[in-house]
Amino acid sequence: MLNQRGKHEEAVVQFKRALDLGAGAYDLFALFADSHEKLENTAEAIEWSYKTLSVVPTLVDVRGRLAGLLVRQQRPYEALSLLQGYDSQLEARGQRPYFVAQRISIETVIDQGSTDRNGERMALRLPVYAGHFFAPVTLGTGKPKPFMVDTGASLTSLSEALLRESKAVYRVVDPRVQMTVADGRKVPAKGVMVESMKVGPFELKNVPAVVCADCVSLLGQASLSKFDMQSVRTQGVDFLLLAQRGAP
């Protein structure tokens, strides 16, 4: 009631008391995050929004507000990962992505350099969704696309359509490669060397990749080896940290 009446300082006190007594529910977490946001306690609002999503990952209102908070904290790529992971799973089930407009807005922020992204200069933080981590990957002149982090894949893979649309500079290094796709089929593919590719804010040069008509977007070991990776669990929330090796 205090939250709904805009009495957020009083609401925060009561939320803390409830939590100290062992209360726990997604709506309690969500409203606690909302009161913190209204009081401009951005770090606390982010923390409790993530905790809300760890209980109910499908809350699109919480996910969208959290992405906005992350952009405010100069973490636009983490915000993109948060939304892209959700949308990619919808598309995998044949459904329309939900956050198209908000993703365009965040991409515009990145393109315009509206933030200096100090928060992501040292490490890119990727939140888990549906048991996977999704990294925003930029090829050529394209927009950041979600690539699922796959430590079991030796190479990065992507579809012919994505490579073509990105207008990325590449050269074919092996015109005949056999690729096993998600449903177990073996399909013809080709090995390429992509001149430049960005994972979040980090640029990689001469990236080996496999391309085929039905290839899904995977970030494999050849690209991941350029990063120091760390899995962290913060009060029930799982993240993957990517810090580029040799970065200043």
Contacts of 15 (CB under 8 A, 6+ apart): 28, 31, 32, 35
Identity of the amino acid at 149: V
Residue 141 buriedness (CB in 10 A; 0-12 / 13-18 / 19+): exposed
- Least confident stretch, 4-13, 109-118, 144-153, 217-226: 109-118
**70 closest CA partner among 100, 50, 97:** 50
Taking the C-alpha atoms of residue 200 and residue 241, their distance in angstroms, rounded to an integer, is: 11
For 114-130, the pLDDT digits (tens) are 555 556 778 999 999 98
CA 201 from chain centre, in angstroms, equals 12
Complete domains list, the chain, with CATH: 57-244 (2.40.70.10)
Taking the C-alpha atoms of residue 192 and residue 164, their distance in angstroms, rounded to an integer, is: 13
Q: What is the pLDDT of residue 177?
A: 79
pTM of the model: 0.90
Instruction: State yes or no: pLDDT of 113 exceeds 80.
Output: no
Taking the C-alpha atoms of residue 129 and residue 121, their distance in angstroms, rounded to an integer, is: 23
Residue range 197-212: mean pLDDT, rounded: 94
Residue 69, classed as helix, strand or coil, is helix
For 143-185, the pLDDT digits (tens) are 999 999 999 888 899 999 999 999 999 999 988 877 776 667 7
User: If DSSP states are collapsed to H, E and C, what string results for 135-147?
Assistant: EEEEECCCCCEEE
Residue-averaged pLDDT of the chain: 91
Q: Let me know: does 83 contact 61? Beta carbons within 8 Å.
A: no
CA dihedral 26, 32, 38, 44 (to 10 degrees): -100
What's the pLDDT band for 141 if we cut at 50, 70, 90? confident
For 27-68, the pLDDT digits (tens) are 999 999 999 999 999 999 999 999 999 999 999 999 999 999
Instruction: State yes or no: pLDDT of 225 exceeds 90.
Output: yes
40-79 core/surface letters (b: 16 or more CB in 10 A; e: else):
ebeebbbbbbbbbbbbebebeebbbbbbebbbbbbbbbbb
